[in-house]
Structure 1
């Protein structure tokens, strides 16, 4: 299983915001600069994270973004499920585009589905808070005050 860049940026954004004090506002530009990633991509990511209720956006002068709920209430598995486009590990997982001639007899699909469920089950065991045990180091690596 490979996560999209979109999901990677979503998780990194949540970790960045979780490492900050809960009330402290951060800008998209700060996150972009800290990770050296595209501000345009982050704008899309933060928009969706806001719609999903993970972050809140404060508009206007002095505005910014911050976590909308405690980091220990943001499950990694849930975020991955909501930010990944699909979980079509192989062609036969997508009935609309499946052209595999052995799909009706193949048992690989069930094994891969079982593996996908196990993968998500592991992610479900963790929250953003689990990745903040060393938040001072994270912030120093990202050169944040």
Structure 2
């Protein structure tokens, strides 16, 4: 299973915000600079993270973004499920567009479905807090 760049950037934004001082507002530009990734991509990501309730956005001069909850309350599996656009590992996972002729008699869908379930179950075991085991190291790299 490969996560989309969108989900990757979403997790990076959350890690950045979790590594800052509590309640500090960060800007998209700061995060873009820290990771050397497109500000335009991050604007879309932060919009969706805000809609999903993972971050708070403050508009205007002096505005920015911050976590909407404590890192220990933000589940990684939940974030991944919300940010990924689909989990169709193979064509037959998408019943509406499936054209595979062997789908009715093939065991691949069941095996991959079980693997996907296990993958998400592992992500469900972790929170954003679990990813911050070296918060000082993260700060040193992301916010020099």
Backbone CA RMSD of aligned residues: 0.8
Q: Shift of the alpha carbon at 1:75?
A: 0.4
TM-score by length of 2: 0.98
Q: 1:74 offset after TM fit, Å?
A: 0.5
For 2:10, the equivalent position in structure 1 comes to 10
Aligned residues, how many? 144
TM-score, reference length from structure 1: 0.97
1:78 aligns with 2:75: no
Q: 1:106 maps to what in 2?
A: 106
Q: How far 1:58 moved relative to its partner?
A: 1.1
Moved over 4 A (4+): none
The secondary structure found in structure 1 opposite 2:103 is coil
Comparing 28-37 and 92-101, the one that deviates more: 92-101
Superposition deviation, residue 78 in structure 1: 0.3
Alignment partners' CA distance in 2, 1:7 and 1:61 = 28
- Which runs of 5 or more structure 2 residues have no equivalent in the other structure? none
Distance 1:58 1:33 in 2: 20
Which whole-Å CA distance do the structure 2 matches of 1:129 and 1:24 have between them?
17
In the aligned structure 2, how far is the partner of 1:64 from the partner of 1:99? 46
